[in-house]
């Protein structure tokens, strides 16, 4: 680790210690493995997408705060819709690779009752993150979470929680955690994770 990254790593370690969650930056893990121990009630397919049966899902804790454009957002306000939450950073190459797909699928699925919300993390200031959103024509809001407080505190232990950057968590219409990917997704992967939840009765 370079000296310039040491303070950031130390700060993140302190935050993670409080929430007992370790995030690996720009992880290439495609196995979708999860920690937390115990009976987690979810299944991971060979593509790294983990899902939870409808009757066994849990709700996240509070996922609310200021967006990159300075507005207030509470993910709970989207209850009744399928919510796709993407954890990303402007500094993360896999995040850049998946961004065009997220922008495209967000537009395609909005009329079906799907809302996208980003969780921008580890960007020390908003400038690079805002430039990222402009470059990739991201049309949905992102919560600004520079030291990963929302990521650490927003997901119950043993649930499908973000353990890498990028991570994607999908909530069902009841606001419960239904699916997760711990790798960059293309349009096909996004539809694979979203479409079954859109079809749920």
**126's tokens:** 């908003």
**193's tokens:** 């994770």
Residues 22, 70: Cα–Cα separation, whole Å: 28
Cβ–Cβ < 8 Å for 175, 59: yes
DSSP conformation class of 39: -
Tens of pLDDT, residues 140-161: 999 999 999 999 999 998 889 9
Cβ–Cβ < 8 Å for 184, 102: no
Tens of pLDDT, residues 105-141: 999 999 999 999 999 999 999 999 999 999 999 999 9
Residue with tokens 């399928």, as numbered in its chain: 82
Can you give the pLDDT at residue 127?
Answer: 97
Can you give the pLDDT at residue 24?
Answer: 52
Tens of pLDDT, residues 6-31: 444 444 434 333 333 345 556 443 33
């Amino acid at each position: 680790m370079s000296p310039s990254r040491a303070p950031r790593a130390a700060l993140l370690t302190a935050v993670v210690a409080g929430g007992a969650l370790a995030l690996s930056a720009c992880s290439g893990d495609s196995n979708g493995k999860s920690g937390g121990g115990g009976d987690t009630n979810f299944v991971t397919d060979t593509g790294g997408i983990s899902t939870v049966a409808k009757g066994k899902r849990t709700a996240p804790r509070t996922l609310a705060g200021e967006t990159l454009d300075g507005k207030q957002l509470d993910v709970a306000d989207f209850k009744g819709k399928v919510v796709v939450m993407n954890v990303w950073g402007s500094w993360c190459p896999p995040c850049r690779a998946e961004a065009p797909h997220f922008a495209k699928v967000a537009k395609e699925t909005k009329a079906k009752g799907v809302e996208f919300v980003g969780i921008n993390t580890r960007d020390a200031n908003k400038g690079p993150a805002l430039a990222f959103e402009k470059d990739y024509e991201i049309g949905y809001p992102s919560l600004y979470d520079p030291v990963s407080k929302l990521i650490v505190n927003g997901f119950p232990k043993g649930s499908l929680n973000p353990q890498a950057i990028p991570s994607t968590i999908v909530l069902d219409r009841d606001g419960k955690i239904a699916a997760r990917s711990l790798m960059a997704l293309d349009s096909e992967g996004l539809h694979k994770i979203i479409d079954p939840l859109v079809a749920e009765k």
